Amino acid sequence: MDAAAKAEPVSMLSKNKKLLGIALVVATILYGGLGTAAVEVLQQGPAAPIIGQMVARIVEQSHYNHHPLDAKTSQQVLRNFLESFDYNHMIFEKADIDEFTAHYGDKLGDMLKEGDISPAFEIFNRFLRRIGEREILVRKYTAAGFSFDSNESMIIDRHELPWPASAKEAKNLWRLRVKYELLQERLNKTKPEEHVKTVNLRYERLLRSYREFDASDVLQSYLTALTHAYDPHSDYMAAPQMENFNISMKLSLVGIGAVLRSEDGYAKIVSLVSGGPADKDKRLKPNDRIEAISQGEGPWVEAVGMKLDRLVQIIRGEKGTTVHLRVIPADAIDPSTRVVITIVRDEIKLTDQEARAKIIETSLFGKKTKIGVIDLPSFYADMKSVIESKSTTRDVEKLIAALKKEAISGLILDLRRNGGGSLSESVALTGLFIPEGPVVQIKDARGLIKILRDSDPSVTYNGPLLVLTSRASASASEILAANLQDYGRAVVVGEKSTFGKGTVQSIVELSQYLPGALKTFKPGAVKLTIQKFYRISGGSTQNRGVLPDI
């Protein structure tokens, strides 16, 4: 997670007169219509042009860099979008790239600001066509077979190389790729009869996964290509991603408590969340496959071939409502057996992602000693709730109180897999270990510096403290580690450096800007870099990270 502040840019945007122009262009899109190119497979949804326009204007006006969405940025957006599907330059051909660059290279920014997102769907549909051609090539080459008695070579990571100059060059690249993968299977000592099957299945699944893309997925990729042209930590989150983000922050969701994965077109049960509705019901089992789903008194909807996150959205719902699953049991003797399982949705607490504590008993200087360890995976917080909302700081404070009752001689705070989260929680958590004082400096796009402080003079734990870090420790966890280091409050032990992220993101929900005619759509949100943060010593963690003491 990134260090996430409250949605401060929203108030800035509401005051920005330029943004009021959105309403005028919205009317043009809804009633005058901006022409879009006909596409072969997938077409944009009715709200997509407005969402694209809103994101483009918000990013241009409110991102920390205040960089215009000009021709140079447009070129980067195009490159990002192309490489989001073809990172190793194996799917498209040079002619495709030249065509897209000529038509859109300098214009994507202006088109987005006008609500024209047709290039995203034209490019994606070309990609679908190309990847279908590549999958046919794979089956052709695996069927023909190879002899491994000649010297040939290929570069596996082609990211820095040009796209193939012709169809002939592309075919040869794929011939070498398939030969390489078959050789890998042989070197891995898999069964000879499985070599071809494994490689074919790999690309069948890849093709299927992209064919399952819907308009929302394409828009997500396109607008993320835009935000990443400004910085790698700004993102567009479509409605499903926004919901997942909220779940990760409040550590709870409403559903049945089943972990799924996609396998050969089916959603397979991987595991059940302990204490969740499915676990309590006892009928749904790991490795069962979901064939169809219905809600309440509604009709059955086939789940075979359905995109996994779409199925997850259907399974989730309101607390107390019912969902019906038609399941193929993993242990059924008759393969035609189908079982209907009805489960009532309920709130599920994701306790495995909460802060946890344990005690390590060891011998120190010949004396038995208890060391408390708190594992903190993220800085979670329910930002939308004010009554008994989920809070990292409150959870850790309770854990420390429990550890102190066990008479611990020292405390280890493990941040090694903590990717960040709520900025306010990082500040509050620092206050558990220090008296009142400054915690972090944040600077906005205008150059104004604000100091966030711990104003509570009380200290929850003042004993020996050690902080564990790794390259995965990022953002809010870097703020905490740096604070405790700068105050001389803890010894930081870890890898050579932490991740090195020194920026703050805010969540701008787009629903507030949708016109009335589109209020039923869920437009998602923009996670936007709005500030940079600095240690109380004045240094930045950007790129450099937090260097350990040991």
Helices (H), 92-191: 94-104, 108-113, 118-144, 167-187
Instruction: Kindly report, residue by residue over 251-307, the tens digit of the pLDDT.
Output: 888 999 998 988 877 899 999 888 889 999 999 999 999 999 998 888 888 888 788
Residues 381 and 325 in one domain: no
Find the catalytic residue in 231, 279, 382, 486: 486
pLDDT of residue 45: 79
The pLDDT mean for the chain works out to: 87
Which residue matches tokens 């299945």?
Answer: 201
User: Do the domain assignments include residue 260?
Assistant: yes
Q: Which of 212, 236, 264 is the last residue of a domain?
A: 212
User: Do the domain assignments include residue 64?
Assistant: no
Q: Which of 160, 194, 212 is the last residue of a domain?
A: 212
- The partner residues of 344 in beta bridges, in order of sequence, read 322
Residues 369 and 444 in one domain: yes
196 token code pair: 């071809």
Residues 307 and 360 in one domain: no
pLDDT of residue 366: 81
CA 250 to chain centre: 16
In whole angstroms, give the CA distance from residue 277 to residue 258: 9
Find the catalytic residue in 250, 501, 527, 532: 501
In whole angstroms, give the CA distance from residue 260 to residue 283: 16
Q: Are 176 and 138 in contact (CB under 8 A)?
A: no
Residues 345 and 366 in one domain: no
Residues 379 and 487 in one domain: yes
User: Do the domain assignments include residue 331?
Assistant: yes
Share of the chain above pLDDT 70, in %: 91
Domain containing 206 equals: 72-101+116-212
Number of C-alpha atoms within 13 angstroms, CB side, residue 361?
3
Asked whether the predicted pLDDT for residue 395 surpasses 70, the reply is yes
Residues 406 and 420 in one domain: yes
pLDDT of residue 274: 83
Number of domains in the chain: 3
Task: Report which of residues 441 and 251 the model is more confident about.
Answer: 441
Element (H, E) at 235: strand 235-237
How far is the first Cα of the chain from the last one, in angstroms, to the nearest whole number? 26
pLDDT of residue 41: 66
Residues 375 and 500 in one domain: yes
**Active-site annotation holds for 11:** no
**Active-site annotation holds for 501:** yes
Cα dihedral across residues 450, 455, 461, 462: positive or negative: positive
Which CATH number is 395's domain given? 3.90.226.10
Over residues 428-453, the mean pLDDT reads 93
pLDDT of residue 7: 39
Share of the chain above pLDDT 90, in %: 61
Q: Which of 334, 349, 364 is the last residue of a domain?
A: 349
pLDDT of residue 387: 61
In Å, what is the CA distance from 449 to each residue of 12, 42, 442, 538? 17, 47, 6, 11
In Å, what is the CA distance from 344 to each residue of 98, 316, 318, 325, 537? 54, 11, 10, 11, 53
Residues 357 and 494 in one domain: yes
Which CATH number is 305's domain given? 2.30.42.10
User: Do the domain assignments include residue 182?
Assistant: yes
Residues 313 and 371 in one domain: no
Residues 169 and 288 in one domain: no
User: Do the domain assignments include residue 467?
Assistant: yes
Instruction: Kindly report, residue by residue over 343-389, the tens digit of the pLDDT.
Output: 999 998 888 789 999 999 998 888 899 999 999 999 999 866 656 67
In whole angstroms, give the CA distance from residue 150 to residue 169: 19
DSSP 467-513: EEE-TT--THHHHHHHHHHHTT--EEEESS------EEEEEEEGGGG
User: Do the domain assignments include residue 185?
Assistant: yes
Instruction: Kindly report, residue by residue over 230-240, the tens digit of the pLDDT.
Output: 999 999 999 88
Task: Report which of residues 404 and 543 the model is more confident about.
Answer: 404
pLDDT of residue 50: 92
pLDDT of residue 20: 33
Asked whether the predicted pLDDT for residue 21 surpasses 50, the reply is no
Residues 397 and 278 in one domain: no
Instruction: Kindly report, residue by residue over 312-353, the tens digit of the pLDDT.
Output: 888 998 999 999 999 999 988 887 889 999 999 999 888 878
Please, which pLDDT band fits residue 115 given cuts at 50, 70 and 90? very high
Please write down the long-range contacts of 259-263, taking CB distance under 8 Å and 24 or more positions apart: 260/290, 260/308, 260/311, 260/312, 261/308, 262/209, 262/308, 263/289
User: Do the domain assignments include residue 438?
Assistant: yes
In whole angstroms, give the CA distance from residue 404 to residue 396: 12
Which residue matches tokens 């089992």?
Answer: 285
Contacting residues for 280 by C-beta, under 8 A, at least 6 apart: none
User: Do the domain assignments include residue 125?
Assistant: yes
Find the catalytic residue in 391, 422, 475, 497: 475
Residues 440 and 462 in one domain: yes
**Active-site annotation holds for 511:** no
In Å, what is the CA distance from 482 to each residue of 179, 435, 450, 457, 542? 50, 16, 18, 20, 12
Rama region for 545: left / alpha / beta (φ>0; ψ in -120 to 50; rest) = left
CA 388 to chain centre: 27
* pTM assigned to the model: 0.81
pLDDT of residue 385: 61
In whole angstroms, give the CA distance from residue 542 to residue 111: 33
